[in-house]
Chain A
């Protein structure tokens, strides 16, 4: 947000208050608060000073003093031996480099949209949970659930009150976020996932209102606006303290450490929950570790209490190795195998195979030949609903085109994936999906 539209005033040479208002309109009519106005007035004073030359030497010397303090601070920080390194810092040129160009008002307005906790930076607008519910279902629910309860591993936005001291705290907007400004700021700039920057201020207010509503913090008629958002008190607003490690930990953990006989005996209390396979084609596979701490030696200053017998080796590893290098039976099988690998990109949102269920994307069994938008229980975007009504069918051609650039083939799809660029990947994944023809 623009915490300081006033800085433009001297350059533009217009009275502060008037331009402050005009600037506000350009930055989506945000309402300047008193601090902004006060600062604008101070800057307006400076602007007049510039035009009147030495009319007010007193004020001018005050400004000079502020600037000198800033320079002195910079000089002091630079002079500080920042590192033990012998390298010299780069020389400073004190604004005299003349590099870059002045940012235009409309450029600042386009990028400077962040919102501060007190609401500074909010554009004019309004929205309520009633309108927000529909928007949320359309734009957010695929990942966050209809009731903001979260789908799969995507963030839960509602509930979790009084769990922060539990073994598994549920950190939601309602239970954890200290400022409502953050919700507006994040939704407006960074959401929906894969379509950031497409919401209007009114839509954003409505979605934020729905998130509050789903947390039982407002009723569905409450109008959330740029005027009341900054003052809205979140339940956990007092739940944060500024980093206190220096006091709470550093002093206690800076004693000369023990070097010998630091403990009498040490035993293993827990073994790794997961073993991790690291396959040749990348990624990893976590496998539960069934080994227990029974049978492990304890340790004293004399070393291990005993040497356990060698554990039975897993001889099948060798067979796996042999199987892994075997070539697939034919080209078709090789293609399906390649497709399985490409499908890793899709797995987070789509399931395929026996018992595949809808995730944040629909299940993909028997996809080829299926009517678009036809999976029971999946909430499709409008473009897919329309395709269903038209009776459009997924075939190789349509799927290839869709996979190459989902958002241009199906304008408005909720699928955030940007597309499979390689033709080989498209062919392979279709072959893979085609191998799941079951129900």
Chain B
């Protein structure tokens, strides 16, 4: 959509439209020599910026539109709110920290490493307190995982709502975490006191004013949960829980407690506010599912999409998208250009990591006709991403959370894409 673009960029595109139209029509035909080639440009003549200029680099100003954005009317206050990753403008799979979505319940806090304490208590042999420096002395692991808010795509239960993949699917990021397996810390405190582990829980809690707390069954706690202190090679950003956050692979983002300060081994789920009144899914008959932790397989085409119209006209077109599953690896993604009548297998950018984003592509020759673009993911369990209709038949429209429906973009003959629902 026109509205999706920075005015200045749009103006630039219009300004150069005449020349561009010529080049689309006949890229190979002879035309006036390109002054960008024939004239000596400033950047090819005058020297550039020195190495002392930018101790920590930000994206160049021409990419300043690729930022997290919030939707003000969604929440009462930006302090207890959400913003969205600009997934329409990113490629590959790793999300840079600076534009990875944020969700806070009482705002992001500034805590020094020196002020950080992590307590393990409850049914352990010896309750312990760790400092940040202590955590750095445990053997560590590196894993790439996606973190998706359970409410991602939640608006769409009620039909096509916000026109942009950043807003429909942007409550997700994917980073390489460095951290200590939670089982190593539990083992250090000793689980003998917990007895039979199969009906035990760990309750995890943050140090911020919301003290967001969630209960995690012991089996998961001993499996792949990480107590992480680095993301994408550098320290966590404040807004992602600096200095230490929990990583709960494949499970809803609310459980990835930031600024984690306490882990309690317990014989029951705490049933905190965030696991009863929120993050529970109301079904059509009014009963609600609780403990819906896993994020099921899901995919979406990030380009073309409402914020990424086709601007080059007919011919070669890269359809690019993301797929992920909380149950493991993505094994296959299919793409439809006619609203689900015909499907073509997409090409995976590389073999998907377990519980991490996988990039997929369909490289097509666009004939300039309108399209209804859809993607459909499958994971290693054989699960196939459902349609909106399947989801609504199973759950009604009031679940809020866990909407992993197949998304449709209507792309018109000018290449402009819009969020739609189809029959």
Q: Given known contacts A108-B127, A189-B211, A273-B161, is B422 in contact with A89 (CB within 8 Å)?
A: no
B160 touches A100 (CB 8 A): no
Give the contacting residue for B160; candidates A77, A168, A272, A297; CB below 8 A.
Answer: A272
How distant is A328 from chain B, measured CB to nearest CB, in Å? Answer: 16
Q: How far is the CA of A181 from the CA of B276 in the complex (A)?
A: 11
Specify the chain A residue showing the minimal Cβ separation from B126.
A102
Contact indicator B160/A273 (Cβ below 8 Å)? yes
Q: A254-B383, A276-B3 are in contact. Are A289 and B372 (CB under 8 A)?
A: no
B167: interface (CB < 8 Å): yes
| B420 contact from A103, A240, A272, A280, Cβ within 8 A | A272
- If over half of A's interface residues share one DSSP class (helix, strand or loop), that class is named, otherwise mixed; here it is loop
Are B137 and A278 interface neighbours, CB within 8 A? no
Residue B125 contacts which of A7, A92, A245 (CB distance < 8 angstroms)? A7
B3 to chain A: which residues have CB within 8 Å? 275-278, 287
Report whether A114 and B291 are in contact in the complex, using a CB–CB cutoff of 8 Å: no
Q: Are A276 and B167 in contact (CB under 8 A)?
A: yes
Q: Please encode chain A, from 52 to 89, with 1 for each CB lying within 8 Å of some chain B CB and 0 for all others.
A: 00000000000100110110011001101011110101
B180 within 8 A of A: yes
Q: In the assembled complex, how far is the CB of residue A221 from the closest CB belonging to chain B, in whole angstroms?
A: 27
Measured CB to CB, the closest approach of chain B to A146, in angstroms, equals: 17
Q: Of the candidates B69, B166, B276, B398, which one forms a contact with A182 in the assembled complex, judged by CB atoms under 8 Å apart?
A: B276
A102-B125 Cα distance, complex, nearest whole Å: 10
Give the docked Cα–Cα distance between A34 and B302 (Å): 56
A193 contacts across to B, CB distance below 8 A: 79-80, 106, 209
Within the complex, the shortest CB–CB distance from A60 to chain B, in Å, comes to 12
Contact status A254-B384, CB under 8 Å: yes
Residues of chain B lying within 8 A (CB to CB) of residue A70:
191-192, 194-195, 197
Say if the beta carbon of B412 comes within 8 Å of chain A: yes
Minimum Cβ distance to chain A for residue B333 (Å): 11
**Contacts known (A263-B341, A272-B162); A313 close to B69, Cβ less than 8 A:** no
CB <8 Å contact, A178 and B141: no
Residues in A neighbouring B213, C-beta threshold 8 A: 114, 189
**Given the known A-B contacts A3-B122, A169-B282, A194-B209, are A244 and B289 also in contact in the complex, defined by CB atoms under 8 Å?**
yes
Would B282 and A416 count as touching, CB distance under 8 A? no
Which residues from A are CB-within-8-Å of B131? 100
- Cβ of B338 within 8 Å of any chain A Cβ, yes or no, is yes
Chain B residue contacts of A115, Cβ below 8 A = 270
Contact between A259 and B289 (Cβ–Cβ < 8 Å)? no
Stretch from B23-31, B33-41, B228-236, B258-266 that touches the partner: B258-266
> Which stretch of B47-55, B216-224, B357-365 is in the interface?
B216-224
* Chain A stretch 296-342: residues in CB contact (< 8 A) with chain B: 296-297, 299-301, 303-304, 307-308, 310-311, 313-314, 317-318, 320-322, 324-325
Known: A179-B276, A239-B286, A300-B341. A190 touches B209 (CB 8 A): yes
Q: Is the CB of B76 within 8 A of A111?
A: no
Contact present for A165 and B187 (CB under 8 Å) = no
CB nearest to B332 among chain A residues: A257
Contact with B along A183-217 (1 / 0, CB 8 A): 00110011001101100000000000000000000
Min CB gap B308→A, angstroms: 12
Choice from A84, A263, A314 contacting B340 with Cβ under 8 Å: A263
With A and B bound together, what is the CA distance between A320 and B270 in angstroms? 53
B312 interfacial contact with A, CB 8 Å: no
Of A130-138, A343-351, A365-373, the one contacting chain B is A343-351
Contact check: which of A3, A108, A276, A296 meets B164 at CB < 8 Å?
A276
Minimum CB–CB distance from A59 to chain B (whole Å) comes to: 14
**A194 CA / B209 CA spacing, docked (Å):** 7
Q: Are B372 and A317 in contact (CB under 8 A)?
A: no
User: Would you call A243 and B292 a contact (CB within 8 A)?
Assistant: yes
1-33 of chain B: CB within 8 A of chain A: 1-8, 10-11, 14
Distance from A44 Cβ to chain B, minimum over Cβ atoms (Å): 13
Chain A residue contacts of B369, Cβ below 8 A? 303-304, 307
Given contacts A257-B376, A284-B71, contact A99 B290 (CB under 8 A): no
List, in ascending order, chain A residues with CB within 8 A of B318's CB: none
Please give me the residue from chain A that is nearest to B396 by CB atom: A165
Q: Report which of B222, B267, B343, B381 forms a contact with A250, defined as CB distance below 8 A.
A: B381
Judge whether A8 is part of the interface by a CB distance below 8 angstroms: yes
CB neighbors of B among A399-419 (8 A) = 416-418
Taking a contact as CB atoms under 8 Å apart, the answer to whether B287 and A239 are in contact is: yes
The chain A residue with its CB closest to the CB of B397 is A167
Inter-chain contact B290/A3, CB cutoff 8 Å: no
In the complex the two chains form, is A259's CB within 8 Å of B343's CB? yes
B152 within 8 A of A: no
Residue ID in chain A nearest B288 by CB atoms: A240
Query: Chain B's nearest CB lies how many Å from the CB of A188?
Result: 10
Partner of A177, one of B130, B276, B422: B276
- Asked if A377 is at the interface (CB within 8 A of a chain B CB), the reply is no
Min CB gap A298→B, angstroms: 9
Residues of B within 8 A of A299 (CB): 338-339, 341, 372
Contact at A266–B209, with CB atoms within 8 Å?
Answer: no
CA distance A303 to B139 in the complex (A): 56
Counting CB contacts under 8 A, is B370 at the interface? yes
Nearest-neighbour CB distance to chain A for B298, whole angstroms, equals 12
Q: Which residues of B contact A282 (CB under 8 A)?
A: 67, 69
**B 136-150 to A, binary, CB cutoff 8 A, 1 in contact else 0:** 011111110000000
Question: Taking the complex as formed, is A241 at the interface, i.e. its CB lies under 8 A from any CB of chain B?
Answer: yes
Is B291 in contact with A280, judged by CB distance below 8 angstroms? Answer: no
Bound Cα distance A271, B408 (Å): 10
Question: B313 on the interface (CB 8 Å rule)?
Answer: no
Q: Is B188 a contact of A99 with CB atoms below 8 Å?
A: yes
Interface contact A74-B412, CB-CB below 8 Å: no
Q: Select B272's contact among A169, A185, A254, A301, beta carbons within 8 Å.
A: A185
Please tell me if A274 contacts chain B, counting CB pairs below 8 Å.
Answer: yes
- Segment 102-158 of A: residues with Cβ below 8 Å from B: 102-103, 107-108, 111-112, 114-118, 143, 152-154
A100 and B343 form a contact (CB under 8 A): no
**Is A18 part of the contact surface with B, judged by Cβ < 8 Å?**
no
The answer to the question of B296 belonging to the interface, with a C-beta cut-off of 8 Å to chain A, is yes
Distance of B263 from chain A, by nearest CB (Å): 11
Give the nearest-CB partner of B121 in chain A.
Answer: A108
B 59-92 to A, binary, CB cutoff 8 A, 1 in contact else 0: 0000011010111111111111000000000000
**Of A82, A107, A254, which one neighbours B223 at CB under 8 angstroms?**
A82
In the complex, what's the smallest C-beta–C-beta distance from A266 to chain B, in angstroms? 3
The contact sample of 15 A-B pairs, CB cut-off 8 A, is A87-B142, A99-B134, A100-B188, A101-B129, A189-B211, A190-B210, A196-B210, A240-B290, A241-B290, A267-B422, A271-B419, A273-B160, A275-B1, A284-B70, A321-B10
Q: What 5 A-B pairs are tightest by C-beta distance, nearest first? A: A164-B286, A266-B339, A165-B286, A90-B139, A321-B7
If A240-B288, A272-B162, A348-B77 are given as contacts, then 14 extra A-B residue pairs at C-beta distance below 8 Å, sorted by A number, are A3-B122, A7-B125, A103-B121, A108-B121, A114-B272, A164-B288, A182-B277, A185-B270, A248-B394, A257-B378, A263-B423, A277-B3, A303-B369, A322-B11
**A residues at B contact (CB < 8 Å):** 2-4, 7-8, 11, 63, 66-67, 69-70, 73-74, 77-78, 80, 82-85, 87, 89-95, 97, 99-103, 107-108, 111-112, 114-118, 143, 152-154, 164-165, 167-169, 171, 173, 176-179, 181-182, 185-186, 189-190, 193-194, 196-197, 239-245, 248-250, 253-255, 257-278, 280, 282-284, 286-287, 289, 291, 296-297, 299-301, 303-304, 307-308, 310-311, 313-314, 317-318, 320-322, 324-325, 344-345, 347-349, 360, 416-418
